[in-house]
Amino acid sequence: MKHQGPKGTYDVLPDDRPLRSRIVHAAARIFTAAGYGRIETPAFEETGLFVRGVGASSDVVRKEMYTFEDKGGRSMTLKPEGTAPVVRAYVQHGMHKLAQPVKLWYHERMYRFERPQAGRFREHYQLGVEAIGSDDPSLDAEVIVLLSDLYDELEVSGVTLRLGNMGCPDCRPAYLERLRRFLDGASDELCEDCRERAELNPLRVFDCKQEGCKAVLAEAPLLVENVCDACGEHFGAVKGYLERLGRDYRVDGTLVRGFDYYTRTTFEFECSRLGAQSGIGGGGRYDRLVAEIGGPDVPAVGFGTGIERIVLAMGGGEKGSSGRLQVFFAVLDEGARPLVVEALHRLRRRGVAADTDYAGRKLKGQMKQADRLGANVVVIIGGDELARGKATIRDMKSGQQSELPLEPLDDLVSHLLERVNGDVLS
RNA sequence: GUGGAUGUAGCUCAGCUGGUAGAGCUCCGGAUUGUGGAUCCGGCGGUCGUGGGUUCGAGUCCCAUCAUCCACCCCA
């Protein structure tokens, strides 16, 4: 093959559309009902936005960004995640002067330079929301329930929710110090990776799957249990709201998310139907991020969820037909084509899906094509019809046929419009 | 960046211990001088991922390379 799509990318073909549209429409409806307005941000941003926002120590920034220099010598990066760009837009457009919180949702492509595998791509789509300008715990719950509602609406089964608490700049450093001391004490029993993690980003050791490390970590102090009173109370309130809304969750002290900006509530939805990449969506509170990138010191909370993973969890394989045709013109005599071209145009302008044969098929082939396209009505114009100034109208469901005059075209078009409108209503 | 598996027709795949490529589906046509979804028949379609090597001969064996998939890592 001469060319193929870049590694880790894929094409969305017409038959993939119905399922994807259903997902995005469900999200739009659910987010809109909760007062979220849609925002779109550029495909790329200044590299510095992600370095400062996502964090220089995160894997995403260290080795997964699509970074390039533009013709003006500026370093740009294809966005690897959705929160930093939205926050940048919030600051740039002075949204802190609007009524708070400002609620935004997005549907965007993200880019990360990773080795592809099941449910992981170099270009992927995410749906997400960001609620900026409030630290009310009910907003944390709102955001979590919004995502949970989306999965419910789409009937994604096998989804579970894990909750964590990252604390705040007042209490986390003390905990990290304590964890580091604990890890130092047990460093003989840790794997090489974990000893390295203990230095760089100690929380990451909780991700380790090595049995030896897991045994050690079972005894480790957990951040959820060592936050300050304010963070503890906030977390308690979030849990209370979730319970009131009837959402099951599991508090998981080992839940660690990949971005550095999280504070207090973090959460992750996992789906048993996914494979190794079991996370289907997640997010959390990021009370320091807006200030970090140069905006006012306002708290915020949000999530992102991957379209590909939702598709996978929904069974992915089921493809729908990309569209249903209403009227098909079977042309047997090229003399009829000018008339057909005009009739098609008029029907289409009225919103009727109409098509004809362009491949020189015989009548049988054209009927087959009409059937494939799901046409309700076929208008047959052959030599006979043309000579008599008539068109044969065939109802594809009943097989019944009748004739109509070809001229005036207005009458033929009105008749067809009436017919398909009837079909739509029935 | 690391490990494993796999690369044959547009799609899904067969091809035994090396002898020069097949099926099903799709598409087009015929059986039905101008009528769809069923059946039967026929046709189109492949430098067997690529490049070397071994051999009289390689889809089949060896090496390299590329790609895809799965897993690690990390995340959606």
Looking at residue A426, its pLDDT comes to: 40
Cβ–Cβ < 8 Å for A162, A270: yes
How far apart are alpha carbons A168 and A206 in whole angstroms? 19
How do residues A267-292 score in pLDDT, each as one tens digit?
999 998 898 889 999 999 999 999 99
Q: Which nucleotide comes closest to A259 if you measure CA to C1'?
A: B75
- Integer Cα distance of A418 and A326 in angstroms: 12
pLDDT value at A336 more than 80: yes
Find the nucleotide nearest A359 (Cα to C1′). B28
CA of A10 to C1' of B54 (A): 40
CATH class of the structural domain A14-171+227-313: alpha beta
Residue A120 per-residue DSSP state = B
pLDDT for the residue A423: 55
User: Which residues 147-176 on A are within 7 A of strand B at the CB atom?
Assistant: none
Which bases along strand B come within 7 Å of a protein CB atom?
A: 1-3, 27-30, 32, 34-37, 67-76
Which class would CATH give A327-418?
A: alpha beta
pLDDT of res. A422: 63
CB atoms within 10 A of CB A239: 19
What pLDDT does residue A192 have? 75
Q: Is the pLDDT of residue A320 over 90?
A: no
Of A1-5, A112-116, A121-125, A303-307, which gets the smallest average pLDDT?
A1-5
pLDDT at A425: 42
Give the integer Cα–Cα distance in Å for A357 and A364.
12
Nucleotide nearest to A270 (CA to C1'): B76
Report percent pLDDT > 70 for chain A: 97
The integer distance in angstroms from the CA atom of A328 to the C1' atom of B29 is: 22
Contact A6, A120 (CB under 8 A): no
User: Average pLDDT of chain A?
Assistant: 92
The answer to whether A339 touches A380, Cβ cutoff 8 Å, is: no
A384 CB inside 7 Å of strand B: yes
Stretch among A69-83, A89-103, A181-195, A329-343 having the lowest mean pLDDT? A181-195
CA-to-C1' span, A13 to B10 (A): 14
Please name every residue paired with A283 in a beta bridge, in sequence order, or none if there are none: A267, A303
The CA–C1' separation of A207 and B72, in angstroms, is: 12
| The two three-digit tokens of residue A16, written as one number | 């993939």
Residues 77-106, chain A, CB closer than 7 Å to nucleic strand B:
81
**Residue A4 CB in 7 A reach of strand B:** yes
Segment A10-28 mean pLDDT: 93
**Alpha-helix residue ranges (DSSP H) falling in A94-226:** 137-153, 172-185, 192-200, 211-217
* Separation CA A119–CA A244 (nearest Å): 33
Return the CA Rg of chain A.
29
For residue A88, what are its two tokens?
Answer: 């940048």
A 10 A CB-CB count for A195 gives 16
Nearest nucleotide to A387 by CA–C1' distance?
B34
Nucleotide nearest to A368 (CA to C1'): B36
What's the pTM value of the predicted model, to 2 decimals? 0.92
pLDDT at residue A180, rounded to an integer: 87
The pLDDT, as a whole number, for residue A217 is 85
Decide if pLDDT at A250 tops 80: yes
| Element of type H or E holding A107 | strand A102-111
Least confident span in A210-224, A261-275, A338-352: A210-224
Tell me what pLDDT residue A194 has: 77
Whether residue A97 is predicted with pLDDT greater than 60 in this model: the reply is yes
Nearest nt to A370, CA vs C1'?
A: B36
Round to a whole number and report the distance in Å from the CA of A117 to the C1' of B69.
7
pLDDT above 70 (res A104)? yes
**Residue A231: which residues within 8 A CB-CB, separation 6 or more?**
A165, A167, A168, A170, A171, A264
- Please tell me which of A45-59, A175-189, A209-223 the model is most confident about, judged by mean pLDDT: A45-59
What separation, in Å, do the N-terminal and C-terminal C-alpha atoms of chain A show? 48
Q: What is the pLDDT of residue A318?
A: 58
What is the CA A326 to C1' B35 distance in angstroms?
18
Which nucleotide shows the minimum CA-to-C1' distance to residue A366?
B36
Q: Work out the pLDDT band at A319, boundaries 50, 70, 90.
A: low
A185 touches strand B (CB under 7 A): no
Q: Is the CB of residue A317 inside 7 Å of nucleic acid strand B?
A: no
Q: Which residue has the tokens 């100690």?
A: A202
Q: What does the block give as tokens for A25?
A: 């429409």
| Distance of C1' in B60 from CA in A320, Å | 40
* Domain limits, chain A: 14-171+227-313, 327-418
Q: Measure A2 CA to B8 C1' (Å).
A: 18
Among A73-77, A214-218, A360-364, whose mean pLDDT is lowest? Answer: A214-218
